[in-house]
A and B are shown apart, each in its own frame.
Chain A
Amino acid sequence: MSAPGTINAGYLENLLAGQPHLPASPLAWLNALRAEAVERVGALTVPTLRDEEWRFTDISLLTKMSFHPVRTTISLQAADIARFYIEEATTRLVFVDGVYAPQLSSGITDNGVAVINLEAGFGAYAAAIEPHLGRLSEFRDNVFAALNTAFLHDAALIVVPRDVSVAIPVHLLFIATQKDVVSYPRCLLLAESGSAVTVIEDYVSLQDDAYFTNAVTEIALIDNARVNHIRVQREGVKAFHIANCAVSLARASNYQSVSVAFGARISRYNLNVQLAEEAECAVDGLALISGRQLADTHTCIDHAKPHAVSHQMHKCIVGGSAHAVFNGKIMVRQGAQRTDSRQSSRNLLLTGKAHVDTKPQLEIFADDVKCTHGATIGQLDSEEVFYLQSRGMSETAARNMLTYAFGAEIIERIPISSLKCQLEQTVLEQTTTQP
């Protein structure tokens, strides 16, 4: 067994092995971006517990396994995946093991609104894409984002033009079908000035063996744009899921995000949000895990300019001998006066072996700000259990209800009712223990 800090040197090279087979893009800057990413992968190492940003999250299990890029794509029928559809979200892009599946997708190009595979946007949108793709999500010091960028090919591209409000939610469905495969889902959302859109980023699996999802999402909101971003990570039980999401908010734009993590053996979600003047964000999360799962959420909300508002509520429900990690950094830069920031981390441990590490981090370099944060870790409150028992419910039913309610508080913030019901049902099933 190798000591911590020393990862098999060939590991990243193995992961990169499939990269030369990618067809060159007609866009020179995109080829240059990939080449730069390949070079960064060569210079970086896989993080270990010795890295401050990874000190609670042991991914050595991931590095002991061998994954290869998808070789043959599985042909799926709509009937195979219909159960993942979200009733309201009829605009849909489907990626199977990271590969765009046009026959399963129902994207749109309509009045300047585009929900398409990246390649299809090279003609009309290349100039709009270039300043954001690979720029919002920093990969120079992030080996997983660099790997994803090195493999950048198929990707969900959403462009919403100025003052257009897209009524139908967009469903980006990433389906894993093959074991030992690593896929590199990628999303780019450009919300132009005054536009509005709701996007569901959804990771699912059709099989239970090990695979690796390494995703990158970039979202740019121009002045006054409004984006609802719902992220659902319901990967297979043996999956590895590492994702980076970068969101840039221009003046007076509004970003509302709810991310839930139910699946994967090991998952890590990095979310970086940067706020300009008068921008507002609500960043909420729920990790519901059991068995030997590990779910790590790292967020950084960067108040770069004055008068911005950020609200964050992150919850973890941890059963079995699972391990949840939350690291929530709020940065208030010099000059970011009148910042209004509220953060709370609440954690529920269902067993004696469940474990949570939570680390709210407030770094304030301005003096006229309103910032609150807090973290709680605990078991169900015995007074609450007693209250429900005193109304006739058994102790088990009372505990189930309180556990469910703890998670449902986050799910309720999802603005799409069929998805909300579906996820509430999942929470109900996961939190129900038989008497």
Chain B
Amino acid sequence: MIHQDSKVLLEVRGLCATVNGTEILKGLDLTVRSGEIHAIMGPNGSGKSTFSKILAGHSAYEVTGGTVMFQGQNLLDLAPEERARAGVFLAFQYPIEIPGVINSQFLRLTYNTVQTHRGKEELDPLEFDDYVREKMKLLEMSPDFLERSVNEGFSGGEKKRNEILQMAMLDPRLAILDETDSGLDIDALRIVANGVNQLANKDNAIVLVTHYQRLLNYIVPDFVHVMEAGRIIKTGGKELAFELETRGYDWVGVEHKAATRATA
């Protein structure tokens, strides 16, 4: 929901980044206020996933220019875990499997780590069990998930639900969902989207990074941004997503080039 007077959570200005010497982001600008849902769309290779990983602090990417402020703090100064504790959450496109670590232990450890750093109470195993089971209902997850190794042998949909479960537990200010719809059948998509919608509130913000429009049928964005060649070249409302679905991405690039030439 857009509120003009709500606080700016994330302010990205002129962000440039490289991986292994190749320039991926070339001056990206984005402002996200609390209460808002943003969708970043774009063709493969436009830099969407790179942007989400940079926000979470992945060390493979080198930021070569620009600034990222999060709740008034320079996000780029923080280690990945500090960003998580400060309230940034990234739902991974490909969540990793950790055979040998039981999901419930993992969830409790991450929850308690983040709670401690936010100056809040830790939960003991019994209290945590109640807490996590409540959150799991949100995602229609069977309690069996708690006893299995983290993501090991989970289907694509189960992994994505486990990501959103972590989002529900860690209660982030800014959640970035990287291709959360990929690999989901329609039922799983509905469940995941429903979970995300229930987690959205006036104090947090959600950035959906997606190639396809179909997720946006379930999670309705306030803004749709189109990324191409490492920057956002067009921003619109939710109707832009439908236009992209029918017309593809090419026209946006053509329009952008024409506009750039006109101003030059």
Which A residues are within 8 Å of any B CB, using their own CB? 381-384, 386-395, 397-398, 401-402, 404-409, 412
Contacts and interface: CB of A to CB of B under 8 A. Distances in A.
B101 to A, nearest CB: 4
Contacts of B85: 392
Contacts of A389: 57, 79-81, 84
Contact of A391 (B58, B60, B100, B110): B110
Contact of B84 (A382, A390, A406): A390
Give the dominant DSSP class at A's interface: helix
B99 A382 contact: no
B56 A392 contact: no
B100 A392 contact: no
Interface residues of B, number: 29
Interface of B: 56-60, 79-81, 83-85, 89-90, 92, 95-96, 98-101, 106, 109-110, 113-114, 117, 149, 166, 170
Residue with the greatest number of chain B CB neighbours at <10 A, chosen from A382, A393, A397, A404: A393
14 contacts: A382-B59, A384-B96, A386-B56, A386-B80, A390-B56, A390-B57, A390-B84, A390-B89, A392-B84, A392-B113, A392-B114, A393-B109, A401-B109, A412-B100
A404 B100 contact: yes
Contacts of A382: 59-60
Residue with the greatest number of chain B CB neighbours at <10 A, chosen from A384, A388, A409: A388
Given A387-B92, A392-B81, 16 more contacts: A384-B98, A386-B56, A386-B59, A390-B83, A390-B84, A391-B84, A391-B113, A392-B113, A392-B170, A395-B79, A401-B101, A402-B98, A405-B100, A408-B101, A409-B99, A412-B100
A412 B147 CA distance: 13
B180 to A, nearest CB: 15
Nearest to B94: A383
Contacts, number: 72
A384 B166 CA distance: 16
A405 B97 CA distance: 11
Q: Which 6 A-B pairs have the closest CB atoms?
A: A405-B100, A408-B100, A389-B80, A409-B100, A391-B110, A392-B84
Residue with the greatest number of chain A CB neighbours at <10 A, chosen from B58, B79, B80: B80
Nearest to B99: A409
Nearest to A411: B100
A384 B96 CA distance: 6
Contacts of A404: 100-101
Contacts of B96: 381, 383-384, 387
